[in-house]
Structure 1
């Protein structure tokens, strides 16, 4: 099992992620003994860029529980002209931080339960905690 970490900034078009050799398995991207496995990333939903003043104002407005509202991108992997993977996935770096209002979590009223996605920081579920 191998893993690669990719920090998405701009779109990526058919970058060689690694190569696959029938005799040696997964080899480095510059090892010509294998055929390339390419990676592409195309932003689908990306929060608009903010200038420094707008970003500072937005950060000041974040009161309460802060979470990520991720954007999304289409990710593809290809090998020997065959598509191995082609899906739209959430991308935290393309999103924006948001906040749940503090008044949601006051002592009066029912207890609120918030479940976050451990990979993206997005909210997966909000409901009353009926314990």
Structure 2
């Protein structure tokens, strides 16, 4: 066993060791790439699902906004109509001489009985 032989085996062993380590590192990196690819696929699916939900929520918010706007317009219209009717009633009451007088209790009872009888017939 001379020194040249040991050096040759040492170099061959070192090269073999480097090749084995390189193969192990490549295998580890391949496994990591595979895991990351799977995670990426899952995240892409989640992103598509969340994007779809976001679009649905946006459409619902748009519908709610339109409904609210319509209801506000309807409420303004009804308030204006109510105000006009109140003004008209106020003018009619001011013109009628009996409008400010109290209604006798007997008349009120007759009216209530008539309303109750009509409701009972239905």
TM category (shorter chain) comes to: under 0.3
More helix by share: 2
TM-score normalized by the length of structure 2: 0.21
TM-score normalized by the length of structure 1: 0.20
Q: Choose between structure 1 and 2 for higher RCO, CA contacts under 8 A separated by at least 6 residues.
A: 1
